[in-house]
Amino acid sequence: MVGFVVRQAIRAGKARVYPIGCISLGQKGQQLAEFGEMVGAGAVAVSDDGKPVVSSQLMRTALEYAKVFGIPVADHCEDPTLSLGGVMHEGLVATKLGLKGIPSAAEEIMVARDIVLSELTGGHVHLCHISTRGSVEMIRRAKQMGLRVTAEATPNHFSLTHDLCLGYNTNAKMSPPLREPEDVEAIRQGLKDGTIDCIATDHAPHHYDAKQREFDDAPNGVVGLETAIGVGVRSLVESGHLSLPELIARMSTVPARVFRLPGGTLAVGAPADVTVFDPTRLWTVRAEDLHSKSTNSPYLGQTLTGQADLTAVGGRIVFERGVQIPDA
């Protein structure tokens, strides 16, 4: 599967695709998957993302085994016994809507455990899509202790709150859920001081019909690739948390360093993987303008700042706004 993804990505030639292999066989959380074969085929990390690694014993073994291959173990931090049945953040808005909530503790318990296991094993743990102020504080302390802990946040979690769920808006439903204004501010501060290393979209396309269901039954996840730079400029640069070069680093060189990838830099001799964007352009997110086949964006109708105009992969232009580029 890893090899298939790598080969399809090379054939399409539109972007660099670095697959992440499973931690457990079939993501069942029981037996460790074969890391060596997956790394040999091109996997750059392991994760059961979508699902947490429930067993601490399995997580410990994964961290020890991954160390042998020099790759991080990326975890979706969620205690399923605490999040069971929950569909949004546990708080005032969930109460108002009569929906079952997921407490911040569901994430924080797993963040704490992963930090402890990173210390025990010396392994590199990467914490996916951090969403709570408690998680940010624990990661900050772990870094001060010199542990091999890295973290990422999504644009959703540094720009939106659980208020967006009002009206049972299923494009505000995701895992982890949108939290409170204090959490959003903590994530922005975490990005500012380097506690949170990088920005990742957690891009999750869903068919229109799937998101048209009742809030309880709609799937988790939103699209995020086309709005990432616009949300980053609006919610981090214009708000004074990051400079524009810092924002770019958190989306290019820093993630490349975390996952030990060759790209992400404009250094002489590096592959010409370049995005050209206008950091000042104001644009309104409209479903009909998105290139994705899915339009489950939480930003529909919002005005963002900054938009990409051109993308080159290995020196070849693969996207230019308003221009039809033939397939390779």
- Which sequence positions are flagged as catalytic? 202
How many angstroms separate the Cα of 214 from the Cα of each of 66, 93, 169, 171, 297?
40, 17, 9, 12, 17
- Binding mask of the shown chain, residues 38 to 57, with x at each position contacting Zn ion by CB under 5 A: -----------x--------
Residue type, 103: P
- Decide: is 126 part of the binding site for Zn ion (CB under 5 A): no
- Decide: is 114 part of the binding site for Zn ion (CB under 5 A): no
Output 294 or 311, the one with its CB closest to Zn ion: 294
CB of 128 to Zn ion, least distance (A): 5
Closest residue to Zn ion, Cβ-based?
76
Q: Residue length, the chain? A: 328
CB of 124 to Zn ion, least distance (A): 18
Number of residues located near Zn ion, criterion CB under 5 A: 2
- Decide: is 173 part of the binding site for Zn ion (CB under 5 A): no
- Decide: is 76 part of the binding site for Zn ion (CB under 5 A): yes
Output 49 or 90, the one with its CB closest to Zn ion: 49
**Residue 212, φ and ψ in degrees, nearest 5:** -85, 5
CB of 220 to Zn ion, least distance (A): 9
Ramachandran quadrant class, 70 (left: phi over 0; alpha: psi -120 to 50; beta: rest) = left
Sheet holding 20-21, edge to edge: 20-21, 45-47, 73-75, 125-127, 149-153, 198-199
Here the tokens at position 75 are 């975890």
Output 49 or 114, the one with its CB closest to Zn ion: 49
Output 29 or 279, the one with its CB closest to Zn ion: 29
CB of 13 to Zn ion, least distance (A): 28
Cis amide prior to 176 (ω within 30 degrees): yes
Q: Where are the alpha helices (DSSP H) in 253-294?
A: 253-258
Which range binds Zn ion by CB under 5 A, 4-12, 72-80, 182-190, 274-282? 72-80
- Alpha-carbon radius of gyration of the chain: 19
CB of 242 to Zn ion, least distance (A): 24
Interface contacts to Zn ion, rule CB under 5 A = 49, 76
